[in-house]
């Protein structure tokens, strides 16, 4: 597919600065785009790339400084406008898989209910009493256990595992390798001091418009439910333990983890490798910086960092002091040496 800049400006609702007949055939990063590709800059610190980019057009904001001789598509949100072009160029032409309908190698239990326009890829398995609603895509090698509900327009990519008693809402997207509904990590010591596994019979409930990244794991509760509320986006390699409740429109970034029965409000962001302890509550509007460790509940919205978690400004001040610690230690040693010399001089004078 190809479009000229006049067509792209109308499609993306941008103001064109440049040649309206210039043809665009693809998209790439601002560093690597060629003369037939579009790119974008949404962060002002990357505007220096405008001097060197060979992109045929660059999506920029109203306030961005221009470099002469370039084509620009100007909007309030260049990333959003660029996304419209991406979807038009790529997603409308190709589906996720060339396999359509129910593949002959898929194994579907006779008591499962399959809706209209459902695609089930090669070697996928659907167990008993599971309901897959209309317009869903189940990728190759995926497994859906018994007594599950899969909402309309939900997409499971290849090799996703959805165990028994899981409910997925509408328009849920799950990336390859994710495991939904595995047992929580719970054991007791028996009379012989050996670990005995606790049964986990709770459900997992994933609400509408949730996205779950590759190789993320979401465990079921021992008796209660694990809930991911609507609009939340979960990155790759995230661990959500038993009976956790994640609020609406959260962002859980790679390698973050939530211990059993923890709970978040709405619009919480957990940056990479942040960790939340068990039975802890986090208020709506909280942002956890990368590698933050939360050991007690956070009741006020704001930004937090460090271990244990504290207000981000306090954490940064402490980090500055820690960086100066070696210098201060050297200064103290020098003062100690001078003090020792002074004391020796005073003793000599007393004699």
Alpha carbon distance 289, 44 (integer Å): 22
Distance, CA of 152 to CA of 115 (rounded, Å): 9
Find the helix or strand (DSSP H, E) in which 11 lies. Answer: helix 5-12
Catalytic status, residue 242: yes
Determine the 3-state secondary structure of 86 from DSSP: helix
End-to-end CA distance of the chain: 97
Residue 304 and residue 286 in contact, taking contact as beta carbons nearer than 8 Å: yes
- Identify the active-site residue in 157, 200, 203, 242: 242
Q: What is the DSSP letter of 72?
A: E
Pairwise CA distance, residues 183 & 198, whole Å: 9
What residues contact residue 40 under an 8 Å CB cut-off, 6+ apart?
Answer: 30, 58, 59, 60, 78, 79, 81, 82
Between CA 195 and CA 108 the distance in angstroms is 36
Residues with a catalytic annotation lie at 242
């Amino acid at each position: 597919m190809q479009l000229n800049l006049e067509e792209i400006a109308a499609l993306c609702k941008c103001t064109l600065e440049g040649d309206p007949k210039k043809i665009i055939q693809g998209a790439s990063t601002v560093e690597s785009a060629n003369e037939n590709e579009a790119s974008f800059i949404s962060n002002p610190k990357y505007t220096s790339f405008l001097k060197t980019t060979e992109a045929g057009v660059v999506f920029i904001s109203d306030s961005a400084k221009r470099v002469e001789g370039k084509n620009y598509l100007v909007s309030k949100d260049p990333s959003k406008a660029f996304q419209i072009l991406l979807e038009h160029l790529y997603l409308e032409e190709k589906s996720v898989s060339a396999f359509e309908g129910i593949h002959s190698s898929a194994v579907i239990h006779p008591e499962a209910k399959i809706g209209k326009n459902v695609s089930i890829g090669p070697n996928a398995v659907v167990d008993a009493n599971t309901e897959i609603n209309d317009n869903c895509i189940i990728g190759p090698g995926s497994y859906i256990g018994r007594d599950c509900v899969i909402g309309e327009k939900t997409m499971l990519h290849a090799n996703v595992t959805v165990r028994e008693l899981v409910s997925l809402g509408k328009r849920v997207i799950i990336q390859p390798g994710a495991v939904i509904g595995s047992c929580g990590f719970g054991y007791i010591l028996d009379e012989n001091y050996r670990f005995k596994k606790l049964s986990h019979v709770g459900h997992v409930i994933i609400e509408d418009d949730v996205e779950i990244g590759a190789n993320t794991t979401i465990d079921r509760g021992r008796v209660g439910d694990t809930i991911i509320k609507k609009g939340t986006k979960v990155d790759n390699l995230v661990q959500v333990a038993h009976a956790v409740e994640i609020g609406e429109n959260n962002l859980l970034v790679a390698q973050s983890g939530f211990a059993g029965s923890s709970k978040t409000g709405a619009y919480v962001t957990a940056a990479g490798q942040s960790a939340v302890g068990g039975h802890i509550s986090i208020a709506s509007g909280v942002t956890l910086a990368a590698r933050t460790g939360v050991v007690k509940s956070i009741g006020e919205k704001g930004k937090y960092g460090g271990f244990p978690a504290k207000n981000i400004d306090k954490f940064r001040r402490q980090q500055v002091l820690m960086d100066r610690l070696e210098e201060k230690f050297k200064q103290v040693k020098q003062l100690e040496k001078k003090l020792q010399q002074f004391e020796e001089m005073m003793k000599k004078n007393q004699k």
